[in-house]
Structure 1
Amino acid sequence: MIPAPAPPNPAEVPESGGPADTLPVLPSLARTFRAFAIARALLGVLLLGVQSLLTLYAAAPPPLSVLLVCAVYALLALPVPLWRSPASFVEGPVSGRPPLPPGPIGRRGALRPAAWGATLGVDLLAFTWLLALSGQQANAMALFILPVLMAAVLMRRRLALAVASGVVLVLLGHAWWLSLTGADAALQLTQAGLVGAGVLAVAVLTGGLAERLARQERTTQASLELARQQALLNRLMIEEMQDGVMVVDRSGTVRAANPAALALIGLPPLAGFATFGLQSQAQWLPLYQVLQAAYATGVCHEGGEQLALELSSQGHVQRRHLRLRLRFTRWQGVDASDELCLMFVEDVRTWRARARQEQLAAMGRVSAGIAHEIRNPLAAIAQANALLEEELQAPLQQRLARMVADNVERLQRIVDDVLEVAPGVSREAPLIDLRQAIAQIGADWAGTNGCATGESGPLHLDLGQETLCSRFDPDHLRRVLVNLLDNAWRHCSGQSHAVWVRLAPRGRAAVLLSVASDGQPIAPDVEPYLFEPFFSTRSRGSGLGLYICRELCERYGAGIEFQPRGPGARHRNVFVITLSRVSSPA
């Protein structure tokens, strides 16, 4: 699993006055603006209603100008909550920057000039006019709290303080004007000063709180985005894993599984995953039993457990051996019934092949080193034996010398075979026509072994008519194919078409080369060791033939495997080489 990145530090998140390109538009700002817009609309309707009632029923009705100001304010405030993406508030794209999102909130996370002009500007003008018309009544002073709060929350700190300072100047100017008309100057200025101090305090405290909440929201958004990306990466990694992974609860319900796990237990790839129970089908009961035993004992074997599933598909039953490893979630404070099990499922053949590959790679390096050390002593023994053979006269001694020479020659072949597949400098393989190359190799091999290739001959070449090209060294291809033909010829019946060589394309990217024999099927207990070095069923065999074939195939990006056929087939022993297909040059 990829380690999750550290969440952003709130202290590193820029304030609302930071660079324009680094601050995303927060969803809460749009909601807050809408709340203020609704409050302004309600306030406008309330002021209009109250002034209308006073005009109709009060003994001393207010001037009609007050009613007119309230009506105009209500008309201007009512449409604001309905704003969505008015064109007047959408700024054009700036060179080198992404286009601004629509709406009254700008890139810096604050009101755009047109938006605060149509809201705060209208509020300040309307409330200032109402304050001037109210005379010595201080009721209109409380109205200024709304634009100050709105500026502190939705504007940058400097602009918010500028709005609050403007309100204080309006209040002080109104008090000074009243003092000129005969009102008590000390009382009016004191009252205006106290209200102004409160306005400034509200602006500072509300602005600081709003910035703190905005930073926390940005931090939360960044953490959620990192968590979303982490979950997406983990999901992609699990889906691409070759090993199966399933999340199973105590009842045996599979809550999540990757495609590899579904394929291993015999389910087709699903477009959308749906939970299912391991106890719902008889073929999955071994999995369910292992799961219940692990839940009951609370013990998970580190090396895993092996089991066999009898999977049925289209009337055929296939026995599949799986390796199972379990891991439980051990969280404190979680109810035991909610404990989940992470089940890793792996094909036993794949697991064994990987283990053998690692073992053989190490063995190959050691064998190559030993072969280098053996070559020089063998050459000395061969030379000394040849000199000694010239001096020997007795038949028994000559026969012993020939035995030494034969065994030295055999050891030299083994050394050459080991060095052939030893790691070395790889060179680019030439592009060859597989059909022509295999036909030539088959003809040469048949001539050497006295094997006919006609309609009634033991060797049958089915190469098709299509030109199939691949990159493979011709000498190495000859060595691989000759080795497979020798093995097939050694164990075949010798009848017509006893050995079958077939070349066929597989899609546009691969070519399949098959060598089949009608001999006795290879025993199942021998099959896992076919490609291991120094394993042979013959007393005179070196056990390096198939191992060298596999190493040479892997050198050129090809693969070789043994694919046994069922009891009804004539050619039950089939070795298949998968080569990369390359387009032939024009």
Structure 2
Amino acid sequence: MLTTAGSDGAAAAALPVAGVSSLRYFNLYRLLIASVLVALVFGVPGEISFADYRGALFASAARGYWVFAVCVMLGADRLLPTDDARLTAGVLADIFFLTLLTYAGGGLSTGLPFMHVVVLAFAALVGQGRLAVFYAAVASLAMLFQQAMQWVTLGSDAGGFVHVGSISIGFFATAIAVRLLARRVIANESLARERGRDLAEQVRVNERVIRDMDDGVLVVDTLGHVRQANPQARRLLDPLMPRPVMLADYSPALAAAMAAQADPDRERVFVLDLPSRPAALRVRCVPAGGAGGHLVFIEDLARLREQARQIKLAALGRLTASMAHEIRNPLAAISQAAELLQEERRAETQARLTRIIGDNAQRLDRMVSDVLELGRRDRAEPELLELGSYVRTFVDEFAMREPGVRARVHIETGVPARIWFDRGHLHQVLWNLLGNALRFAGPDDGAVRLTVSATEDATLLDIVDNGPGVSDSARAHLFEPFFTTHSRGTGLGLYIARELSDANGAALDFVDNSPGAHFRLRGLNRSLDESWNGGGLSGS
């Protein structure tokens, strides 16, 4: 590579456009032009006719130019230490021989001066920095010297200097314009090379990520050709061919299922049963983009179930450890009270100890009942319920145990709102939320507000009390198991309520203090599998 001879910082390396091969093409062009001139002189002797033509000098110059071109092509310029030096020597030689040929041919009328333009353009494209302007300056001086010699020896018209000046301006304009163009080409080439490296690195990263994914991944074009596949896809689908090409080669059942799916421009999810696999596959087909095609993600449901089982076991382990800690306290109180009760003879103390035993036994019973209710989480049987009617019936049932509830609870319902929920789960969620609200609300009428509303795709139930609200330190732990701020609470109520809500595709969140605690249950108003079509509504 040539190195820059000037201060052109934007182009630090020489020959960036086409490298050393460009210099070889330059040398080949020189040999071609010299060969044409030699052929004209010696192939058709006497036919060249220019004004003031000096045949012997023209023939000698053409022959010398051809010999120089041949020597350069054979590698004689390798004697020079750098590519910059080789380029400069070649360009200066071109300027010398073309100027000599112009003088021998009779001056500007031969048209040979315009061949300098091609040489300067090549040099500006191949070279760097200020060399292009240097070459143009040398060519201009050479043409001025040639015209001066014509004027002195032949007495030619002095107006020729004006033509030489115009040609020299063209030399500089060509050199500068081609140099600017070459700089832009260099910058674009450098940017393209950098982008190419970044793209290649990104492709390698993507391939590594896809290869190491636990799920199978297929990249399928619009014609069904598989452009890319990771080892997991081969393991899950067990291709029919050693080197599958089409999606049908991987799995005819998958190809047929994808072809049968409506609206291919949207994401589609379906379950694929293959006779060769013990468990079904979950397939997610995502449009690849504007060019068409799809990304097919394949998940092994057996693996997902195993992962879910492991998560449940881990959660059960944590719950069991927490329960052991929570049960130990009331058991210790019961044991101590029972021992004291055996020794105590006073009726008043016996009554107090008996009450301690009864309260702690009830606490243990509630804890066991809550844990058993949590076990029903995975046995949800959701149905479409009219939430306003269900809430009214639930409050009436709750009031049978606590008569003052009817006055303390105010129910607000607007338009009919439906929710997709398991009836038993919803009963437990409302029981925990309402019991929690009544525990902290005041004794006033309407201390707890239950508001039922609906949006286009969800049904909302807001539970707001007029109590002191939730402290900032307690907000982060509201839904953690066994966290409670009440002395007689188990700390499982809100935790179980959220777990049961999640099992039904709903969300239970703490909204804010309004000024009392404000909880919101947000549930689906249609089936998880199909939109509600006006049927299947269950009353309360």
Tell me the TM-score normalized by structure 2. 0.54
Partner of 2:33: 43
* Residue aligned with 2:158, SS: helix
Structure 1 CA distance for aligned equivalents of residues 78 and 333 of structure 2: 95
Residue 322 (1) aligns with residue 281 (2): yes
Does structure 1 residue 116 correspond to structure 2 residue 87? yes
Task: Say if 1:54 and 1:62, in contact at 8 Å, map to a contact too.
Answer: no
Q: Distance in 2 between matches of 1:357 and 1:77?
A: 80
Partner deviation per Cα, 1:522-561 (whole Å, 9 max, x = no partner): xxxxxxxxxxxxxxxxxxxxxxxxxxxxxxxxxxxxxxxx
Q: Are the counterparts in 1 of residues 264 and 287 from structure 2 also a CA contact under 8 Å?
A: no
CA distance in 2, matches of 1:355, 1:123: 80
Asked if 1 retains the 8 angstrom alpha-carbon contact of 2:54 and 2:104, the reply is: no
**1:288 has 2:280 as partner:** no
How far is the alpha carbon of 1:244 from its aligned partner?
0.3
| Pick aligned residue for 2:176 from 181, 204, 221 | 204
Question: Which of 62, 66, 83 does residue 70 from structure 1 map onto?
Answer: 62
The aligned counterpart of 1:439 is none
Matched, 1:171 2:160: no
Which amino acid letter does the alignment assign opposite residue 30 of structure 2? R
Counterpart residue number, 2:124: 152
Deviation at 1:162, TM superposition (A): 0.9
In 2 relative to 1, CA 132–296 (structure 1 residues): closer, same or farther, beyond 3 Å?
Answer: closer
Deviation, 1:264, is: 1.0
1:346 aligns with 2:337: no
**CA shift in 2, pair 1:182/1:324, >3 Å:** closer
**Could you tell me how far apart the structure 2 residues matched to 1:68 and 1:202 are?**
30
CA distance, structure 2, for counterparts of residue 268 and residue 25 of structure 1:
53
Change (3 A) 1:297 1:131: closer
SS in 1 for 2:284: strand
Q: What residue identity is the alignment partner of 1:275?
A: V
Taking the aligned partners of 1:181 and 1:251, their CA distance within structure 2 comes to 78
Match of 2:338 in 1: 385
Q: Output aligned runs, 1:355-394, within 5 Å.
A: 355-358=308-311, 361=314, 368-369=321-322, 371-388=324-341
1:260 is displaced (CA, Å) by 0.6
Contact 1:325–1:344 (CA<8 Å) still a contact in 2? Answer: yes
Looking at CA atoms only, which structure, 1 or 2, has the larger radius of gyration? 2
Is 1:261 the counterpart of 2:233? The answer is yes
Alpha-carbon distance, 1:161 to partner: 0.4
SS at match of 2:272: strand
The match for 2:8 is 17
Distance 1:266 1:128, change over 3 A: same
- Relative to 1, partners in 2 of residues 1:68 and 1:362: Cα closer, same or farther, differing over 3 Å? farther
What amino acid is aligned across from residue 239 of structure 1 in structure 2? R
Query: For the residues of structure 2 that align with 1:89 and 1:353, how far apart are their CA atoms?
Result: 73
> Is the contact between residue 250 and residue 292 of structure 1 (CA under 8 Å) also seen in structure 2?
no
Q: Which amino acid aligns with 2:337?
A: A
The range that moved more, 189-198 or 118-127, is: 118-127
| Local SS of the residue matching 2:279 | strand
> CA distance change for structure 1 residues 16 and 155 in 2, over 3 Å: closer, same or farther?
farther
Aligned-pair distance for 1:326?
1.3
Deviates more, 1:207-216 or 1:376-385: 376-385
Determine if contact 1:254/1:275 at 8 Å carries over to the other structure. yes
| Aligned match for 1:233, one of 205, 220, 224 | 205
Whether the 8 Å CA contact 2:120–2:136 is kept in 1: the answer is: yes
- Letter in structure 2 aligned against 1:310: P
Q: Deviations over 1:230-274 (max 9, x none)?
A: 22221121111111011335665544311011011124997xx54
Shift of 1:352: 2.1
| Counterpart position of 1:307 | 272
User: Could you list the per-position Cα deviations for residues 186-229 of structure 1 after superposition, in whole angstroms to 9, with x for gaps in the alignment?
Assistant: 31321221211121122122222222222222222322332222
Q: How far has the Cα of 1:43 moved from its partner?
A: 0.6
Runs of 5+ unmatched residues, structure 1:
1-14, 92-111, 312-317, 393-400, 416-586
Distance 1:155 1:16, change over 3 A: farther
Structure 1 residue 46: Cα displacement: 1.0
Alpha-carbon distance between aligned partners in 2 of 1:38 and 1:253, rounded to the nearest angstrom: 47
Distance 1:382 1:52 in 2: 128
User: What corresponds to 1:128 in structure 2?
Assistant: 99
Aligned 8 A contact 2:266 2:287 in 1:
no
SS where residue 174 of structure 1 aligns? helix
Q: How has the CA–CA distance of structure 1 residues 252 and 159 changed in structure 2, closer, same or farther, with 3 Å as cutoff? A: closer
Q: 1:185 to 1:151 in 2, by over 3 A?
A: same
Give the partner amino acid of 1:45. Answer: S
Q: Which amino acid aligns with 1:293?
A: A
CA shift in 2, pair 1:348/1:88, >3 Å: farther
Question: Does structure 2 conserve the Cα–Cα contact (< 8 Å) formed by 1:247 and 1:342?
Answer: yes
Equivalent residues of 1:152, 1:206 under 8 A apart = yes
Aligned mates of 1:53, 1:129 — CA distance in 2: 20
Q: Deviations over 1:463-489 (max 9, x none)?
A: xxxxxxxxxxxxxxxxxxxxxxxxxxx
CA distance, structure 2, for counterparts of residue 183 and residue 387 of structure 1: 142
Counterparts of 1:19 and 1:200, CA distance in 2: 20
Give % identity. 28
Question: 2:261 is paired with a residue of what secondary structure?
Answer: helix
Task: Decide whether aligned partners of structure 1 residues 188 and 61 sit closer, same or farther in structure 2, where only a CA change above 3 A counts.
Answer: closer
TM-score, L = length of structure 1: 0.51
State the alpha-carbon separation in 2 of the partners of residues 166 and 208 from structure 1: 20
Secondary structure of the 1:18 match is coil
1:275 aligns with 2:245: yes
Counterpart of 1:246 (choices 218, 225, 230) is: 218
Judge conservation of contact 1:307–1:323 (CA < 8 Å) in 2.
yes
Alignment match of 2:159 (pick from 187, 210, 219): 187
CA–CA distance in structure 2, aligned partners of residues 235 and 38 of structure 1: 45
Q: Distance in 2 between matches of 1:233 and 1:227?
A: 10
SS at match of 1:343: strand
1:496-507 superposed matches below 5 A: none
Query: Could you tell me whether the CA contact under 8 Å between 1:263 and 1:269 is conserved in 2?
Result: no
2:187 paired with 1:215: yes
Provide closer, same or farther for how the CA distance between residues 190 and 254 of structure 1 changes in structure 2, counting only shifts above 3 A: closer
**Separation in 2, partners of 1:72, 1:352:** 87
